[in-house]
Amino acid sequence: MIIYLILLPYQLTQANWNIQIQYSTLCTCKQINQPYLCSSSQFCQLDLDFECTEVLNYNCSYFNEQTVLYLCSQLDRCFLKDDKCVELNNCTELTGLTDQECYQKSNRCGTSLNNVCQLTQCKSYLNENDCNKSLFNIRFDNVGYGNVCYWNNLIQQCENLLCENVSVDQCQQYTNLCQIVNNLCTWATCPNSSIENCNFVWEGSQRNAIQPCVLINGICQNANGPQDLNAKDCTQNTLYTYIYTSENNCQSCQYSNQLYMQILLFIILLYY
């Protein structure tokens, strides 16, 4: 039994700092108790009692309640199923013979392969407007899915984003993705970030993970873990996946659920 008592605290303090950003890992509005953080979140808003609550039209069920089903697919994580607007977990839930058929069902799933819809590939965007809108694939509407694309003016095609191929003028629109260094566009890093933009940078092959940044002695650096972030930076620099607690800790919004399961497991082992 002593072994369990020693191991449990160790397990509870483990955290995966390679923050994979998904909609399901974001802090809930109830967990956000600072008004300015609530107002800054695209998912949350302050109600009349100054409580942080969900913005209804970011829920798929909103389109059912407001009888505006024709708008369902406008929110990339939603799709129509049996005349109901429901959460889209995987593009393969949709079928389509052509890219256009898939795209009409979900902007996120605009590529067809063997009559099954897949995550939209950059080459599937046929015009500059749709191509540039794919930038939102890694924003709050559709967190952590799909490719980041850019419109190549030279060949008039939509391609996978490579910062080094983007002009200096275009570079500035890819915040937290690309940066101008020595008059060239390059992938964003914390050390190359300015003091004003020292928050996080996107990483991963599809830029679906973030590296939080921290300002130390006026220099932007990689944060090595949540312990490096203070109350001001904790939530914003982790893209609303961590919160600062009353115990003065920056911890994952999923921590409370993990803690509950660890305690439950300990109780089961205790009485086994």
Residue 229 lies in a domain: yes
Q: Check pLDDT > 70 for residue 160.
A: yes
Q: Are residues 106 and 147 in the same domain?
A: yes
Q: Are residues 87 and 9 in the same domain?
A: no
Residue 177 lies in a domain: no
Residue 50 lies in a domain: no
- Residue with the larger pLDDT of the pair 68 and 11: 68
Q: Are residues 204 and 250 in the same domain?
A: yes
> What is the per-residue pLDDT for 136?
55
> What is the per-residue pLDDT for 137?
53
Residue 129 lies in a domain: yes
Residues 6+ away with beta carbon under 8 Å from 215: 195, 198, 221, 233
Tell me the residue ranges of DSSP E strands in 82-207. Answer: 84-87, 111-113, 116-118, 149-152, 157-160, 178-181, 184-187, 200-203
Q: Are residues 245 and 155 in the same domain?
A: no
Q: Which of 138, 161, 184 is the last residue of a domain?
A: 161
- Residue with the larger pLDDT of the pair 265 and 227: 227
Tell me the residue ranges of DSSP E strands in the chain. Answer: 19-20, 44-46, 52-54, 78-81, 84-87, 111-113, 116-118, 149-152, 157-160, 178-181, 184-187, 200-203, 209-216, 219-222, 242-244, 250-252
Tokens of 225: 């873990």
DSSP-assigned beta bridge partners for residue 210:
19, 202
Encode pLDDT of 188-226 as tens digits. Answer: 999 999 999 999 998 866 677 899 999 999 999 999 999
Q: Are residues 141 and 205 in the same domain?
A: no
- For residue 134, how many other CB atoms are within 10 A of its CB? 26
Which helix (H) or strand (E) element contains residue 133? helix 128-133
> What is the per-residue pLDDT for 116?
95
Confidence of residue 268 (pLDDT cuts 50, 70, 90): very low
CA-angle at 184, arms to 179 and 188, nearest 5°: 20
Confidence of residue 81 (pLDDT cuts 50, 70, 90): confident
Q: Which of 104, 134, 161 is the last residue of a domain?
A: 161
Q: Could you give the count of Cα atoms lying within 13 Å of 7 in the half-sphere of its Cβ?
A: 8
Residue 186 lies in a domain: no
- Residue with the larger pLDDT of the pair 168 and 43: 168
Among 10-19, 59-68, 115-124, 209-218, the range of highest mean pLDDT:
209-218
Tokens of 44: 């949350």
Q: Are residues 152 and 205 in the same domain?
A: no
Confidence of residue 1 (pLDDT cuts 50, 70, 90): very low
Model-level pTM greater than 0.85? no
Encode pLDDT of 100-119 as tens digits. Answer: 898 888 877 888 999 999 88
DSSP notation for 30-75: GG---HHHHHH-SSEEE-TTS-EEE-GGGSTHHHHHTT-GGGGGGS
What domain range is 89 assigned to?
59-161
State how many domains the chain has: 2
Q: Are residues 138 and 67 in the same domain?
A: yes
Q: Are residues 85 and 19 in the same domain?
A: no
Q: Are residues 20 and 63 in the same domain?
A: no
Q: Check pLDDT > 50 for residue 236.
A: yes
| Average pLDDT score, the chain | 78
Confidence of residue 270 (pLDDT cuts 50, 70, 90): very low
What sign does the CA torsion over 33, 39, 43, 49 have?
positive
